[in-house]
Structure 1
Amino acid sequence: MRIGYLLYDSNMDVDQQRRHMMQRLHCQAVFVDQGTHTRRQLSMALTSMVGHDVLVIDSLKQAGFSAFQFLSLLEQIDRRGATLEIGSPQLQSNTPEGQQRLLELLIHQLRVERPGNTRQLSKRRGRRPKLDADAMRQIAERLRNGLNTRDIAKYMDVSIATLYRYKRLIEDGNEV
């Protein structure tokens, strides 16, 4: 059995078009929720599903699932032995390509919902460096001139340990 699921659209013309589309997709039953806050009709649709049934959703964007809700929906459908079919983008959860695309959509949804957790890999973490690139050049120049490390540390206003750490960086050819 093919079961359709829609979210109610206040625009009557759009709502009627979506219901007709579900009929064209050969859905024997169509469940329509009034809003995303309860999803009672979706629960009823899932409860009525048995093995080899298909839940048809016209569009993921229209359905308005969060990543958690979407993952929960996929789990419930899989547990019942049913499949999910989405009209836009066109995919089915029982094909390898559809499963790959669903995973990509889920990852995308997670990134959209939590933009603060996606940090750049090149960005430094931790404490700000004590000395900048200019100071490293001064240290390198003073070391080449043969000055004592204690005198350089005192002049740069850093501890001996910090100076030795930067000295190792200079010898390895790294930057701050």
Structure 2
Amino acid sequence: MAARAMHVLTSRVGEHNAVILSQEALSNLVGCSERRLRDAVKLLAAENWIEIRRIGGRGTVNAYVINDRVAWAGARDGRRYSLFSATVIAVDDEQPDANELGQQAPLRQLPTMYPGEGQLPSGEGLDPPSQPSLGGLETDLPARRISPPAGSPFDDEK
């Protein structure tokens, strides 16, 4: 059962180093009871094939980490945190709004900053192009006023 569980996890990890899903969903994918699944993943963890990180308080949803241990940041406000990337598997019958899935209104879009741009886009319409400048529309760069030497052709004091 442990080998089957490992196969299911590695086939779904994608470009990340972890898969997050419920024990029920994983047991369905593996084709065993939740009790047998818990024994299988405990064995995989004991043999250092995976690291299991609980997501939430009840322990029924876990991150199954493969190949690399999760890095933990130093304590902040008395708690330590870990930030990592994972493939998340959500099962429709575990959702409280299962009968509405696929029929929801689209989410609102947050404005984003593109690399190299100094302000967030705003207003209606398309996002601004994400290139440093367009011909004839070069950005105005802030400049420091440097006084030219007295009597120079650039002297405004004339």
Q: TM-score per shorter chain, which class?
A: under 0.3
* TM-score, normalised via structure 2 length: 0.25
Higher relative contact order (CA 8 A, sep 6+): 2
* TM-score, normalised via structure 1 length: 0.23
Which has the greater radius of gyration?
Answer: 1
